[in-house]
Structures are given as structure tokens and as C-alpha cells.
């Protein structure tokens, strides 16, 4: 097994091989980001956000940085192709324009690392299960007993990836800096990742986790569901940005309980005394698990004001616009307590 040196302020130690070939893999030690006095080069006057699990879409360099000019983003993505595409999003002139090491944005760094629980401060190598659908890739094995494996059943590769805890990443950012927001999409590992911050969790003001509704199967072995996640978050000193019902208050068919739209909630948690900011409201997306009641599906338009209209596979709008049915024969008009749709 090859080992990786993840951070070395004075460069690579003399004597360690730069490239190693094993029976099943080729490994290289490369510099992935500059450090100054052991810290990532983040301007002192900027706020900091972190993204764990960047992949190709719904990334904070596109969805958050444009809305906050005082924010610097640190992203982590262990899949090399996704990491490369992140670097390729750096705005360029012509093809020969200089790009600072590790930057995927003038106000952002991306690191080819996994963030996980446990292990030494210098990091360790862990096995990453790469799915046929990249969004299903996880350090956790797929739960073959789950009834939600349409997209995530098959693992194409097992890769060895360098990983550190969130606490180590926070050390590289600086022990005194508050963290305005952490977005975590670690496919079943979300709770363990935020808990890996250790005592540094006191510096975190807000975070988002992907949470599985209590009435749904998880996708991975050992993946916690909503009630357990909310309990652990409360112990850390955090509560949801708006009320979340871990089991929807209205009955729904088994079809809904097998979909990502019906089962996977994106919950923003706030530290005690911390408010949600306007740019972050749209990251709290809990669909039916935020409803306090239902309107009849033939309600007149006057009764739809302030409701969330859901039809088909999780399609909704605020104004009662009805989208085409795509095989789901239920329609929900949801009187809502969400801060965003």
C-alpha cells in the first residue's frame, strides 16, 4: 500500500519515493496547494466556506461565490476526474494563461482529498467505492437490502484515496478563523464528517447535510436517518434552519419512498444564536418533510398562495403551476413552513 504525504510546509522529506507502483495501482506524491506557515493562502479579510464532495454539479463555486464577494471557498473532492473538472472551471483568458496552484476560482481552492472520520492528523489512505453513477460514490459500501438502489446498485471501481478529518482541514485554514458555511455531500458519511471536526466545531456557524427521511431506506451500510442526525446535531449545538419533520405528516405511496426527491433532504443547521443568511436559504431543501398540512389537489388558485405545490417526481412551484405527471399519480399541495422551495 502506498502512502501519501498530504501537507508538508517545508516540502517533501528527502528519501521518500515520489512515485510508487504496486501490483494494483500507481501512486504519486504531488503538491496540491501552497501553504504559508502551514496555512492555506486565504486572504485575512475574507470569510470562509467549505464544500465536502464537489463532483460536477450544484457546486458552491457556481451557486454561492457569485452571491457573496467577501467569501473564500475551500473544496475537497477525491475523484480525480471531478477534481480536474473543478480546476478547469477557473476563469481563463487564452489557454496559456497562468492558473495558481490548486485554485478552481480566484476566490477558491480545490483539494483532491476525501474528508472522513478517524485517522492521524497527517491523513491516511482509505478505500473509495466509485459507483456507475458518480454521485453514488462513497467510502461506505452500498446496502444491498435497500429498496432505493436504482442508480447506486453497482460499484465500478475501488480506489485508494488520501483522506483527512475535517479537523485537520480546519487547521490548514487557520485555528482562529470562523467558518461561515460547510456544505457536505459525502454519501452516507455526512454526519461522521461534521463530527470529525472535533473541538473545532465551535468555529463552524452553519453546515448543510444530506439527510434520509425516517420512512425511507438509506443507500449505504450504517447510514443514519433523519431522527438520529438531528439528535447528533443538537448535541453538537446546532438546529435546523427551519422545522424538519423526519417523517412526513401526510401518508405517501411506496413509490415516493424510493426516490431521491422523496427521501433525500438537504438540511441547513445553525449554531445557537446564528441566523440564516439570504444566499444560504435556498440550500435548506426538505420538500414534504417541511410541510405542516396539505391543501386539496383541486384547491382554487386563491388557496395556493404560500403553498408548495408538488407533483410527479418532486417537481414543484410556488404559484400553483402544474408540471407534467411523470408516472407518479399523486399530487401534493403542501402548506409549507419552509424558508425556501
Kindly list the structural domains of the chain, giving each domain's residue range(s) and its CATH number in brackets, ordered by start: 19-285 (3.40.50), 289-341 (no CATH)
pLDDT score recorded for residue 3: 36
Q: Exposed, middle or buried, 136 (CB in 10 Å: 0-12/13-18/19+)? A: buried
pLDDT score recorded for residue 161: 94
For residue 20, give Cα distances in angstroms to 14, 29, 84, 136: 15, 9, 22, 29
Q: Kindly provide the residue ranges of all beta strands, DSSP E only, lying in 37-87, ordered along the sequence.
A: 47-52, 71-76
Predicted structure pTM score: 0.86
pLDDT score recorded for residue 208: 98
pLDDT score recorded for residue 173: 98
pLDDT score recorded for residue 301: 62
Sign of CA dihedral 227, 232, 234, 239: negative
Q: What is the pLDDT of residues 135-181, one digit of tens each?
A: 889 999 988 888 888 878 888 999 999 999 999 999 999 988 999 99
pLDDT score recorded for residue 2: 38
Site of grid cell 528519501? 15
Backbone angles phi, psi at 239, to 5 degrees: -135, 155
pLDDT score recorded for residue 123: 84
Residue 260 backbone class (left: φ over 0; alpha: ψ -120 to 50; beta: rest): alpha
* H or E segment and range at residue 226: helix 226-236
pLDDT score recorded for residue 106: 96
Can you read off the three cell numbers belonging to residue 88?
Answer: 478547469
Listed as ranges, residues in the chain with pLDDT below 50 are 1-10, 310-331, 336-341
Amino acid at each position: 500500500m502506498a502512502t501519501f504525504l498530504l501537507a508538508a510546509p517545508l516540502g517533501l522529506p528527502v528519501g521518500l519515493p515520489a512515485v510508487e507502483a504496486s501490483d494494483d495501482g500507481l501512486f504519486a506524491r504531488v503538491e496540491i496547494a501552497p501553504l504559508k506557515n502551514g496555512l492555506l493562502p486565504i486572504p485575512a479579510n475574507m470569510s470562509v466556506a467549505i464544500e465536502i464532495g464537489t463532483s460536477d454539479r450544484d457546486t458552491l463555486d457556481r451557486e454561492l461565490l457569485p452571491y457573496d464577494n467577501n467569501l473564500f471557498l475551500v473544496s475537497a473532492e477525491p475523484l480525480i476526474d471531478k477534481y480536474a473538472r473543478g480546476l478547469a472551471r477557473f476563469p481563463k483568458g487564452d489557454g496559456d494563461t497562468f492558473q495558481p496552484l490548486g485554485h478552481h476560482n480566484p476566490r477558491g481552492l480545490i483539494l483532491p482529498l476525501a474528508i472522513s472520520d478517524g485517522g492521524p492528523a497527517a491523513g491516511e489512505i482509505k478505500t473509495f467505492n466509485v459507483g456507475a453513477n458518480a454521485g453514488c460514490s462513497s467510502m461506505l459500501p452500498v446496502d444491498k437490502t435497500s429498496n432505493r438502489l436504482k442508480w447506486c446498485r453497482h460499484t465500478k471501481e475501488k480506489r485508494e484515496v488520501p483522506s483527512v478529518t475535517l479537523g485537520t482541514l480546519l487547521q490548514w485554514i487557520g485555528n482562529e478563523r470562523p467558518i461561515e458555511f460547510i456544505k457536505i455531500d459525502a454519501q452516507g458519511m455526512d454526519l461522521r464528517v461534521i463530527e470529525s471536526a472535533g473541538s473545532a466545531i465551535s468555529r463552524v456557524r452553519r453546515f448543510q447535510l444530506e439527510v434520509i427521511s425516517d420512512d425511507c431506506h438509506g443507500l449505504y451500510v450504517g447510514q443514519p436517518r433523519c431522527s438520529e442526525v438531528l439528535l447528533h446535531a443538537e448535541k453538537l449545538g446546532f438546529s435546523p434552519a427551519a422545522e424538519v419533520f423526519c417523517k412526513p405528516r401526510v401518508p405517501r405511496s411506496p413509490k415516493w419512498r424510493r426516490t431521491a426527491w422523496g427521501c433525500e433532504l438537504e438540511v441547513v443547521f445553525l449554531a445557537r444564536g446564528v441566523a440564516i443568511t439570504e444566499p444560504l436559504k435556498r440550500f435548506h431543501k426538505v420538500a414534504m418533510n417541511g410541510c405542516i398540512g396539505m391543501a386539496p389537489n383541486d384547491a382554487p388558485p386563491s388557496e395556493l398562495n404560500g403553498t408548495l405545490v408538488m407533483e410527479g417526481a418532486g417537481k414543484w412551484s410556488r404559484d400553483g403551476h402544474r408540471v407534467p405527471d411523470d408516472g407518479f399519480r399523486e399530487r401534493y399541495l403542501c402548506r409549507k413552513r419552509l424558508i425556501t422551495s
